[in-house]
């Protein structure tokens, strides 16, 4: 490992450790279920040798929240809510979620987003200071926010691609990624009807951070087909439920 990559690893571990307690507190604490925790740990153990960083350590935390969410922090921290685990229907869908979050970590997406956000802040500040025009500064902020949103969408597609390949190599049915995205799409449509398009204040869920857009579903379908082998991958719906 080079000195630079070693430094990045220490930085990532420090960042993840710093943010972990805040994440747990914000999502209702840890959902303590030994059987479920062991199941997720075993799934990650199975996925890890087939990931882009088989030497990387991961820590899965179940959050005691009914919201449907999964995300990760640098340093190997992966989070899934009990709401998301209730939405999943089989082992392949759970593996798809975990492999996707592992991909975010190994691709260093959180660090890249942080760097992009810092660059955006600098650009908007320079425009305001040099031009001396508040309106020009606001326009610069709007442009950079749009660039950040596009950057995040690209990261989601990349994490889907890496995650699907990882789960397929681990013996899971790669179509699990597709069926889970479709379940998300149905859920957000149902939620919109129930709430009449209103949202609970302060609530952050997977629909805003990992939107199941038609483009994303089509890309996942293509990647799943490309990674489907001659032997049917594992689904195990009854066992998971």
CB 56, CB 107: distance < 8 Å:
no
Q: Would you state the torsion angle of the CA atoms of residues 7, 10, 13, 15, taken in this order, to the nearest 10 degrees? A: -70
DSSP letter (8 states) at residue 30:
B
CA distance 18 to 117: 19
Q: Which tokens sit at 192?
A: 């919109």
- For strand 77-81 and strand 70-73, is the pairing parallel, antiparallel, or unpaired? antiparallel
Detail the DSSP E strand segments found in 90-212. Answer: none
What is the biggest distance separating any 2 CA atoms in the chain, rounded to whole angstroms? Answer: 64
User: Which of 152, 150, 154, 164 minimizes the C-alpha distance to 52?
Assistant: 164
The residues assigned a catalytic role are 101
């Amino acid at each position: 490992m080079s000195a630079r990559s070693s430094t990045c690893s220490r930085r990532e571990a420090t960042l993840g450790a710093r943010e972990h307690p805040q994440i747990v507190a914000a999502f209702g604490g840890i959902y303590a279920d030994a059987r479920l925790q062991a199941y997720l740990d075993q799934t990650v153990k199975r996925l890890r040798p087939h990931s882009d960083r088989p030497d990387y350590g991961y820590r899965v935390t179940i959050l005691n929240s009914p919201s449907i969410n999964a995300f990760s922090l640098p340093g190997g921290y992966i989070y899934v809510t009990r709401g998301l685990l209730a939405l999943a229907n089989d082992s392949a869908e759970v593996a798809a979620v975990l492999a996707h979050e592992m991909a975010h970590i190994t691709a260093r997406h959180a660090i890249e987003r942080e760097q992009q956000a810092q660059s955006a802040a600098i650009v908007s500040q320079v425009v305001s200071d040099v031009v001396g025009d508040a309106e020009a500064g606001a326009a610069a902020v709007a442009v950079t926010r749009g660039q950040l949103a596009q950057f995040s969408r690209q990261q989601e597609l990349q994490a889907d691609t890496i995650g699907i390949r990882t789960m397929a190599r681990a013996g899971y049915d790669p179509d699990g990624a597709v069926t889970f995205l479709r379940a998300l799409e149905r859920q957000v449509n149902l939620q919109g009807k129930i709430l009449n398009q209103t949202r609970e204040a302060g609530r952050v869920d997977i629909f805003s951070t990992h939107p199941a857009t038609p483009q994303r579903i089509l890309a996942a379908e293509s990647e799943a087909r490309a990674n489907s082998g001659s032997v049917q991958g594992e689904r195990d719906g009854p066992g998971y439920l």
